[in-house]
Amino acid sequence: SRGFHPHLTLGRVKGKRNLKSLLTRMESLTFESPLVQVSQFNLMSSVLRASGSTYSILKTFPFQHVETADH
C-alpha cells in the first residue's frame, strides 16, 4: 500500500492535439479556494496498468518563500 500524497490534477493531455483545447478551457476558469501554503510544484507522469496506476515525478519546481502581510 502506498501513502496518499495530496495533489491537484489540472488536466490530462493525451498528445498535442488536446493541448490547445485544455489551455483554452483553463483560460476561462475561475474559482476560489482556501489559502494554502505550497512549497513546490511537481510535473507528474501516470501510467495506467492492470495492477493500477504508476506515478513518477518528471520534474520538481521549488517555489521561493515570499513573506506576506498575513504571515
- All structural domains of the chain with their residue ranges: 35-66
So what's the pLDDT on residue 62?
Answer: 92
- Position with higher pLDDT, 71 vs 53: 53
Q: How far is 26 from 11, CA to CA, in rounded Å? A: 9
Please answer whether residues 60 and 41 qualify as being in contact, where contact means their C-beta atoms are separated by less than 8 angstroms. yes
pLDDT digit string, tens, across residues 23-70? 888 888 887 878 878 888 888 888 888 998 898 999 999 988 766 666
Decide if pLDDT at 22 tops 80.
Answer: no
So what's the pLDDT on residue 2?
Answer: 66
Question: What is the Cα gyration radius of the chain?
Answer: 16
Q: Which helix (H) or strand (E) element contains residue 62? A: strand 52-62
Q: Which helix (H) or strand (E) element contains residue 11? A: none
Please answer whether residues 57 and 44 qualify as being in contact, where contact means their C-beta atoms are separated by less than 8 angstroms. yes
So what's the pLDDT on residue 59?
Answer: 92
Cell of 12: 490530462
